Amino acid sequence: MVHPTKPDFEKAALSELPLLYRVARRYAMNAAEAEDLVGQTLLSAARAWDNFDGRHTRSWLITILKNEHLKTIRQKSSRPKTIGFEESGEVSEGDLGSEIDQRAFVEDILRELDSLPEDFRMAVALCDVEQMSYEDAAEALGIPIGTVRSRLFRGRRALREKLKAWPSDTKALETAEVRS
């Protein structure tokens, strides 16, 4: 049954474009491939839209993106294991101080995230970067919620281990606010 508030495709999909691109970056780990992946996802989603019930659009789109990614892998039989250094060269010379530090820091943490095995990487990307619920992430990835939690916690542990090696991490950890 079609959800009564199901929007039209362009409105629904295009509002999720930034999210799809970020998730695609975690899958493809290369800006050009990520753009292609999102483009393919939009085309596939547009074709399937009439058969979609309109519930959990975000998870539905991510599922399509994941399937397109798997299709690409099958076609290529391999995927890049590292992010190109030139990928980090998007900061203009006019940017100063903290902005550069912030950008570099974000790129560093994403690079560390991208070095995790895909199962862990995607759980962290959806739940911690995109802040999706366990339930939505489970639906998007096509796995049980318990598996999402397991991958998420193990992914966080692995990422934390990597971040421990950062000299600048110490200060951040010392000043981290502890509250629940």
Partner 1 sequence: MRLHKDNGSDEPCKHMEGHLNRVADGTAGPLRRWYVRAHMAGCPMCTRFFASLKAMLGRLHKAKEAEPNEEAVHRILATYQAATAAAD
Give the interface with partner 1 as residue ranges (CB under 8 A).
14, 17-18, 21-22, 25, 31, 34-35, 38-39, 42-43, 46, 90, 102-103, 105-107, 109-110, 113, 124, 127-131, 133-134, 149, 152-153, 156-157, 159-160, 163-164, 169, 172-173, 176-180
Using alpha carbons, select from 13, 12, 27, 15 the residue that is nearest to residue 129: 27
Token pair listed for 55? 């519930």
State which residue, 53 or 135, has the beta carbon closest to partner 1: 135
Find the Cα–Cα–Cα–Cα dihedral 36, 38, 43, 46, rounded to 10°: -170
**Alpha carbon distance 6, 32 (integer Å):** 31
Using alpha carbons, select from 176, 162, 164 the residue that is nearest to residue 113: 162
Shortest gap between Cβ of 76 and partner 1 (angstroms)?
Answer: 20
Shortest gap between Cβ of 160 and partner 1 (angstroms)?
Answer: 6
State which residue, 73 or 109, has the beta carbon closest to partner 1: 109
- Is 58 in contact with 132 (CB distance < 8 Å)? yes
- Is 130 in contact with 110 (CB distance < 8 Å)? no
Token pair listed for 158? 């692995």
Token pair listed for 29? 């780990």
State which residue, 3 or 90, has the beta carbon closest to partner 1: 90
State which residue, 3 or 91, has the beta carbon closest to partner 1: 91
State which residue, 46 or 48, has the beta carbon closest to partner 1: 46
